[in-house]
Structure 1
């Protein structure tokens, strides 16, 4: 069965380099998308799928496009988590998370904790003062502390989680096979195992609201618990951290958009969605074909390794008008930043609540004159995972009021 009457072999994009993808992939994606929705890219040894419709097809056909990729970098970095499984095994492991990450639990329990954590981290940012790097002095510690408490990793520090997360996502995106990246990733892998071995017996005896408490009571095998908790640490920090940084950058560089949100804070939900579309924090994820097939008119053999480039799909001009522009007023259409189908991101609701409902409103209310630093440029980097890697900011100290209610 094919999806096109006319088929062709994939064009070879031998002009693409990993360095160029990391620096700024969007011109590359535009050129590729204009030629074909699928290319063979020797630099990353896989087919990159850049068209919106083709990516959507993959997300909704796990029988043809398997998440259980052979030779997976993610399996090496975090173990065989549910992200690299198909149903029914994927669904069974996903169900083991229970309701911990779902909207009801967020509303009843986690939102208050996110609010408290935001106040603490904002106080820390204000103490550092103008010239602080918003990514590393606010976004990262805020996301890490939220995840630490949601998971119940009370035997680890905020800094531990940040280090583990970055090391493991670097491993999952190590398409250049850098041995130093693997060494850091493997160190994080082992340290997380040690922390899990310490905390799970305690949570079995003293259950609480946390995700690890839920996992301790589940029938899932220990190897799967380990892999899924490592996957949660990896994505559970980088996704909200990078969405928050990108959303702030979008508003700081589009003053007319910022004015709209200042007049109507309910629009922060649109800011969140537009940031996710504009720069998907998880920009590419792998799939493998289970049979010969045709995708977007391109013939693919059985066992083909694919990269589903949602960072490109979300800027497909056939779907999104002026796709390279951050615009919260654009016509609302479904983006693919959180995946789709059975693999829709389990942490999407936590990311939305912590970023759109808590962090963005607090940040701009407390620092109304927040602006990019005049002398230190911001940096946005990555392609498998993409976000602000530096966001130096400035503000007028005289306009910043005390932030009441911060826990001591």
Structure 2
């Protein structure tokens, strides 16, 4: 175990609002061992930015890690050549060109259908009724699992997310995660013949044409679902909440002075949908006065780094004038989020502008509720129009 200073947390309070604890850690013990999480946390932006690239020390290859055990060894849990081989294989699906030429039109069609269904209601929960189905329909297209409903996509994604953050070892959470991965495998089994007969740009089809093993194909699709559903869902609803909570910012975006994409990226700096990424220490290493030992568990706290006062002028505020060039929302090293282009298109080019265009009188109908630290987002955003 590392000799980092110990910092105690209340897990429930940390889940409800991790930022006060993270701020104290950045100031008092930026590299801290948190016994309730069984991990040493890196909380300063520059420490994360520099050390995420040192894969010989902070390895993503975690054979005993929760994600590997529960979902299989996907590309996110590989380093070096093995990681790059998987990344190269899936690139045709998520390249900027494919996003522009294939997926964006499908994103728009799905969002329009969801909005049509909401129009007569007069109000909704943006998380459940808009962001969830829009994100789910987009992910159905990208993965190739068109036989899964958007609600089922959301269910299995959440089950895997809960499983991967189950550091307390709750057996019910683990069992539900296994049930969710089994449901995904069943959908993959059903779609393989169709995709082989009529190849397309979906993740299932592209990986099979690239010759990846069945285990790799399945693990990478589960990875895409675990991150590609909840993060866009939370960012769509969360950015809408942030803009509705800051009318002057919304007016600037609506006027065209500020791009929707910029509003999304400032929100994602402020409330990082991916708050943490785990690593395994591969060899003894000294960082400042802390010595890491092999097999130590380390958490790179992106949500903390994105609020580092040494880097950002107004770290704890949603501020469209903020310089966000140093944000590490999508990661900082070789594991930079492969789905970043798709996320930017879905959220910034489609979901947000279409929502506010359809409902020009959109307004909040209560306080937004947020939760999470490894993955963070709104639990409910009620609106009327």
Q: Summarize the alignment of residues 264-275 of structure 1 with structure 2, pairs less than 5 Å apart.
A: 264=256, 267-275=259-267
Q: Which residue of structure 2 lines up, in the alignment, with residue 75 of structure 1?
A: 68
Q: 2:74 touches 2:216 (CA, 8 Å); kept in 1?
A: yes
Separation of aligned partners in 2, 1:70 and 1:18: 26
Aligned to 2:7: 13
Contact 2:60–2:76 (8 Å) recurs in 1: yes
- Asked whether the 8 Å contact 1:69–1:305 carries over to 2, the reply is no
Superposition map of 1:27-46 within 5 A? 27-46=20-39
1:309 aligns with 2:301: yes
TM-score (norm: length of structure 2):
0.97
1:245 deviates by 1.6
C-alpha displacement of 1:366? 1.4
SS in 2 for 1:217: helix
- Write the distance in 1 (CA, Å) between the matches of 2:331 and 2:153: 24
| Aligned twin of 2:97 | 104
Rounded Cα–Cα distance in structure 1 between residues aligned with 2:74 and 2:122: 40
Equivalent pair of 1:76/1:172 in contact (CA under 8 Å): no
Query: Is 1:84 matched up with 2:74?
Result: no
**Partner of 1:325: helix, strand, or coil?**
coil
Equivalent position of 2:243 in the other structure = 251
| Pairing 1:8-407 to 2, within 5 Å after superposition | 9-14=3-8, 16-130=9-123, 132-264=124-256, 267-373=259-365, 376-395=366-385
CA distance in 1, matches of 2:250, 2:126: 17
Q: Retained in 1: the 8 A contact 2:63–2:69?
A: no
Shift of 1:308: 0.5
Alpha-carbon distance, 1:129 to partner: 2.4
Deviation at 1:328, TM superposition (A): 1.2
Displacement of 1:149: 1.2
| 1:244 CA displacement | 1.0
SS of the equivalent of 1:43 reads coil
Over the residues paired in the alignment, what is the CA RMSD in angstroms?
1.4
Whole-Å separation in 2 of the counterparts to 1:112 and 1:136: 23
1:342 aligns to what SS in structure 2?
coil
Cα separation, 1, equivalents of 2:72 and 2:10: 28
Supply the distance in 1 between the matched residues of 2:71 and 2:116 (Cα, whole angstroms): 34
Using structure 1 for the length normalisation, give the TM-score.
0.91
Which whole-Å CA distance do the structure 2 matches of 1:294 and 1:128 have between them?
58
State the 1:113 CA deviation: 0.7
> For 1:8-33, what per-residue CA distance to the aligned partner results, in whole angstroms no more than 9, with x for missing partners?
9411012x022121100000100111
Supply the distance in 1 between the matched residues of 2:71 and 2:271 (Cα, whole angstroms): 24
Q: Tell me the matched-pair count.
A: 384
C-alpha displacement of 1:266: 5.2
SS at match of 2:367: coil
Task: Tell me how far 1:127 sits from its aligned partner.
Answer: 3.2
TM superposition shift of 1:249: 1.4
Deviating more after overlay: 308-317 vs 101-110: 101-110
Q: Distance in 1 between matches of 2:298 and 2:36?
A: 13
